[in-house]
Amino acid sequence: MVSLYGICLWASTLSALLPGLALGSSLSKRDASISDLIGFKGAILLANGKQTTCEAALIDNSAAFVAASCFQLKDGKVDSSTKYELVIKMGDNSAGSQVHQITTISVHPKYDSTQYINNLAVVQFDKGAKLSWKYNIGINPDEWDSHYFARRSLANVSEKRWNNILALDSKVRPSDCAKYSKVFDANSKDFLCNTGSTTSIYNKDCSLPYGTVYSMVKPTHVHIIALHSHSVVVDGNMCSSKQKLHYYTLLRNYAAWAAKEIGRSIGGFVKSPDFKMKTNYTYSMKSNSDKVDGVEVFAGDRFAKDPVDPSLVNPPKDPNPPKDPNPPKDPKPPKDTNKPTNTSTKPTSKTDKDTKPTSELPSDSDDDDPESDSKSDTDADDSQENNNKPKKSGMSVTTIIILVVLALAAIGGGVWYFLYRKKKKNAELQKQMEEANANDEWDGREGYNEDDLPANMRMTQDFGQQMNLPPNAGATNVASVYYDDRPNYGGHNRITEDFGPAYGQTPYGR
């Protein structure tokens, strides 16, 4: 029989090896995924203190893109009688959410409120906290490995309490996108189109498009690329079961115009250092006023335009309200538990045949789920009942010890083999690098696979390039593209103050 000393020896060996493996794993880069959206700052437009379905694509800590159709216009100008604000969720920290007063709204000069071409506005708002940050816009569509569609909403506006982010991972473009929108047909490179939707938090019968779209560039880059522009419905409305298509304006061609409006450079992300982009401050989509019979077009704030279910108007209740220190002597009888409540904001929309199902990303709220609590209590009762039953075991102590020793031996052997292979591979790579440096031939030629190298030895473009669009060039000139070649910062938060006038922000944020 194996001695207890042998078991302890294996346990000591594993305890010494596993922490090292865990450390190495924590230092390696994790591939990007749709769950990364939780860490991004998000923003929703408020109109007279009420939330809208209009989300913002944040540029930096004092400017953002918003769809022009989200603002009330009079004679081509924004109606000043409406108070517009942005509520910004500071990444995965709900406690840091802030409401910012919008001070300037610049609608694109060639915005068409009938066709919804150039459906963008640039808003500037008070900075609030002195912390500076800046986001980069995805610039090169050829590099986008996937599209992440996101829908944000507030559970309670006054408390700045957010619902879970609803997200969809899809690059599928339905074949009917051009059929039901002549504007899309004329400007297919300026739009994304899909049929994915979410359910309105104020009416379960009404569909909502996603608000923002992000690009995922393998392996680790995620950047915002588009905003919802408009939707079309065939023989119906947004609260009918008819087919719906949703169109999203790509921001890339409007970055130069936005930079001119706010008077400072806007960050753009490209992975390849060879990519060149022409900037045009007067860029405009092509007009196409042809209508499609039987198709209705919808844009702007759907909360204000679609019918509302009265039972869903009130904000969700706190599942754990504070206890009343002086409860009434004659409490009212409990409410009928069979009636629907308004505490749930999960979508009930059907899955698109063209897209993957919507994912509800986990909330960072500290509120407990009553249903989960109830289930936990039931499980605890079952566990206690099982513990009270007499235990039976058909295995002897000797058999258990033998199985444990065999398992530890297998794990130990696997760990040893992994470390041996890793050491051997690193030695081979080091030898290749030394030979290449000696012959001055390392330039990525055939025979060298750059993906086999450690991350800190790869070429700079694997970390992404920082591109800035300067706002001071001529309106029709082709501006130069600048790259900030500093891989230590990563493509999303490099210092960019050298590439635009009157810009001195520090690289916080993503």
**3-class DSSP state of 310:** helix
- DSSP code per residue over 332-350: PPPPPTTS--S------PP
211 within 8 A of 42, measured Cβ to Cβ = no
Residue 286 placed within a domain: yes
pLDDT of residue 418: 85
Interval 484-493 mean pLDDT: 35
Structure tokens at 161: 């309490």
Higher pLDDT, 246 or 346: 246
Domain match, 255 and 129 both: yes
Per residue in 4-51, pLDDT (tens digit) is 444 343 434 434 333 333 333 333 456 888 888 988 999 999 999 999
Per-residue confidence (pLDDT) for residue 135, from 0 to 100: 94
Whether residue 219 sits in one domain with residue 153: yes
Residue 148 CA to residue 39 CA, distance in Å, equals 14
Same domain, 118 and 215: yes
In this prediction, residue 93 carries a pLDDT of: 57
Domain count, the chain: 2
Q: Which of 179-183, 247-251, 299-303 has the highest mean pLDDT?
A: 247-251
* Residue 351 placed within a domain: yes
Q: What is the pLDDT confidence band of residue 82, given thresholds at 50, 70 and 90?
A: very high
Considering the domain architecture, whether residues 310 and 161 belong to the same structural domain is answered as yes
Instruction: Write the CB contacts of 419 (distance below 8 Å, at least 6 apart in sequence).
Output: 17
For residue 159, give Cα distances in angstroms to 165, 318, 394, 413. 17, 11, 57, 55
Q: Which two tokens stand for residue 200?
A: 């309105």
User: What is the rounded average pLDDT for all residues in the chain?
Assistant: 73
Share above pLDDT 70 across residues of the chain, in percent, rounded to a whole number: 60
For residue 315, pLDDT beyond 60: no
Residues 284 and 422 in one domain: no
Residue 207 has pLDDT above 50, yes or no: yes
Look at residue 469 in the predicted model and tell me its pLDDT. 52
Q: Please give, one letter per residue, the 3-state secondary structure of 154-176.
A: EEECCCCEECCCEEEECCCCCCC
Position 248 pLDDT exceeds 50 = yes
Residue 290 pLDDT exceeds 60: yes
Top pLDDT among 136 and 441 is at 136
The verdict on residue 400 lying in a domain is no
- Specify whether 206 is located in the same domain as 57: yes
Residues 65 and 149 in one domain: yes
* pLDDT higher than 70, residue 281: yes
**For residues 208 and 197, is the Cβ–Cβ distance under 8 A?**
yes
| CATH, residue 177 | 2.40.10.10
In a domain, 490, yes or no: no
Distance CA 103, CA 126 (A): 7
Say if CB 123 and CB 76 are below 8 A apart.
no
> pLDDT category, 383, cuts 50, 70, 90?
very low
Tell me: do 39 and 168 sit in the same domain. yes
User: Residue 268: its pLDDT value, please?
Assistant: 93
Same domain, 65 and 172: yes
Over residues 245-252, the mean pLDDT reads 97
pLDDT above 70 for 311: no
Decide if 270 is inside a domain.
yes
Residue 167 belongs to a domain = yes
- Is the pLDDT higher at 439 or at 366? 439
Local confidence band at 199 (pLDDT 50, 70, 90 cut-offs): very high
Cα of first residue to Cα of last residue in the chain, in angstroms, is 58
88 DSSP β-pair partners: 43, 98
Confidence of residue 306 (pLDDT cuts 50, 70, 90): confident
- Is 290 exposed, middle or buried (CB count within 10 Å of its CB: 0-12, 13-18, 19+)? exposed
User: Residues 320-336: pLDDT tens digits?
Assistant: 555 555 555 554 544 44
For residue 432, give its domain range.
409-455
Query: With b meaning 16 or more CB within 10 Å and e meaning fewer, what string describes 197-220?
Result: bbbbbbbbebbbbbbbbbbbbeeb
| Among the listed residues 59, 124, 118, the one whose alpha carbon sits nearest the alpha carbon of residue 85 | 124
The answer to the question of residue 468 being in a domain is no
Range of lowest pLDDT (67-71, 176-180, 388-392): 388-392
Question: Do the beta carbons of residue 201 and residue 342 sit within 8 Å?
Answer: no
Same domain, 295 and 421: no
Instruction: Give the predicted TM-score (pTM) of the model.
Output: 0.61
Q: Are 244 and 231 in contact (CB under 8 A)?
A: yes
Q: Provide the b/e sequence for 25-62 (b: ≥16 CB within 10 Å).
A: eeeeeeebebebbbebbbbbbbbeeebbbbbbbbbbbb
Residue 167's pLDDT is 94
3-state secondary structure of 78: strand
396 lies in a domain? no
3-state DSSP call for residue 483?
Answer: coil
